[in-house]
Structure 1
Amino acid sequence: MSITYRTPTTKDWSTIDHLFRVSFCDTFAHLYAEEDLDAFLADFTEQAWTAQLTDAAYAFLLAEDEGEPVGYVKLGPRELPVASAENSIELRQLYLLKHWHGQGIAEHLMRWAVDTAKERGAAEMFLTVYTDNHRARRFYERWGFDYVGPYTFMVGNHRDEDIIMRRPL
């Protein structure tokens, strides 16, 4: 294993998309009707990924093992319905292929996210996590995130029970 990290470019949109779809579906697809999952995934297009990869308000880091993508993290503007300082940021996605869980890659991606948020002047970071995703919740709690409140996350017409978590920076 030789993990490297780099900032993806617009040429990497399909790599990010693949990591997102595989990771999301491996973890959550069993929860949804096919039409809800398809409707949700339809929003993740080349145009949408490319727009975020070129928007300075977003920041990505891609993890690779000998050139093969294994995970990524994405920061973006806070859009969650919470009262906070104006200089907050949202951890939008942190996805890692299942085979790579428990090997320190998520730790590196999170460290980068926290450091990057601080460099951007953020005073706090927010995220959402599925209520029953206990592995992810424990990970975020280890990183100092605390429960803020419930959040409805829509997958097609399906309402997921998520929670909002916050970490001061």
Structure 2
Amino acid sequence: MEPITYRDAAINDADRIADLFVATFTEIFGHLYRPEDLASFLADHTARKFAAQMADPDYTIRLAELKGALLGYAKLGPLRLPVEAQKPAAELCQLYLLPSARGTGVADALMDWTFAEARARGAETLYLSVFTENHRARAFYARQGFREIGPYAFMVGDHADEDIILARDI
């Protein structure tokens, strides 16, 4: 089998990242929302928005690829979650994988990169939010050493999801 490769995203990757985000979010969570809420949410996750974030030095995206095909990505950015950080912090904004990449070690490799990149940016704590009913992701983050901080209303259109904010010292 070909090796999985990892690299920092470039502006010209924005379309592929947006496509992967829309496909995976819709597959995993799409059934939870009214069509208008899902459409509103996805309209805010366009290639243009990903490209703008990649042009912003506060954000960075790491890609996982197999034979040039995108398997997943991790997006690291400044802390935007509603928490009172006690130490310099960063936020894992997104970690998305195609279903075919689950269980392959890609998520672990992207998390290792996220920890290292956050530390290199001066962060001592990494935060993220996860849907309460996303048991697979919650188990993954628990294995990575994250602890629960508290509830968070993650908005998908006009629908408020019950998320949990997690943190880990890095």
Structure 1 length-normalised TM: 0.97
Q: Does the alignment pair 1:127 with 2:128?
A: yes
Per the alignment, residue 103 of structure 1 pairs with 104
Q: Does the alignment pair 1:17 with 2:18?
A: yes
Instruction: Answer yes or no: is the 8 Å Cα contact 1:85–1:123 preserved in 2.
Output: no
Per the alignment, residue 153 of structure 1 pairs with 154
The count of residues paired between Structure 1 and Structure 2 equals 169
Per the alignment, residue 3 of structure 1 pairs with 4
Q: Identity of counterpart residues, as a percentage?
A: 49
- 5 Å-filtered alignment, 1:1-169, equals 1=1, 2-85=3-86, 87-169=88-170
Whole-angstrom distance in 2 between the partners of 1:46 and 1:161? 27
Whole-angstrom distance in 1 between the partners of 2:164 and 2:133? 10
Residue aligned with 1:95, SS: strand
Instruction: Answer yes or no: is the 8 Å Cα contact 2:14–2:50 preserved in 1.
Output: yes
Whole-angstrom distance in 1 between the partners of 2:101 and 2:51? 26
Whole-angstrom distance in 2 between the partners of 1:16 and 1:85? 32
Q: Which runs of 5+ in 2 are unaligned?
A: none
CA deviation vs aligned residue, 1:81-119 (integer Å, no higher than 9, x gap): 111135200000000001110010000000000011111
Whole-angstrom distance in 1 between the partners of 2:58 and 2:68? 27
2:74 counterpart letter in structure 1: V
Instruction: Answer yes or no: is the 8 Å Cα contact 2:77–2:90 preserved in 1.
Output: yes
- The CA deviation at 1:8 is 1.0
Give the stretch that moved more between structures: 94-103 or 80-89: 80-89
Whole-angstrom distance in 1 between the partners of 2:141 and 2:65? 22
CA deviation vs aligned residue, 1:100-159 (integer Å, no higher than 9, x gap): 100100000000000111111101000000001010001001111000000000101111
Residue aligned with 2:145, SS: coil
- The CA deviation at 1:46 is 3.1
Structure 2 length-normalised TM: 0.97
Whole-angstrom distance in 2 between the partners of 1:88 and 1:100? 28
- The CA deviation at 1:6 is 0.9
Instruction: Answer yes or no: is the 8 Å Cα contact 2:150–2:166 preserved in 1.
Output: yes
Whole-angstrom distance in 2 between the partners of 1:117 and 1:151? 22
2:30 counterpart letter in structure 1: A
Residue aligned with 1:80, SS: coil
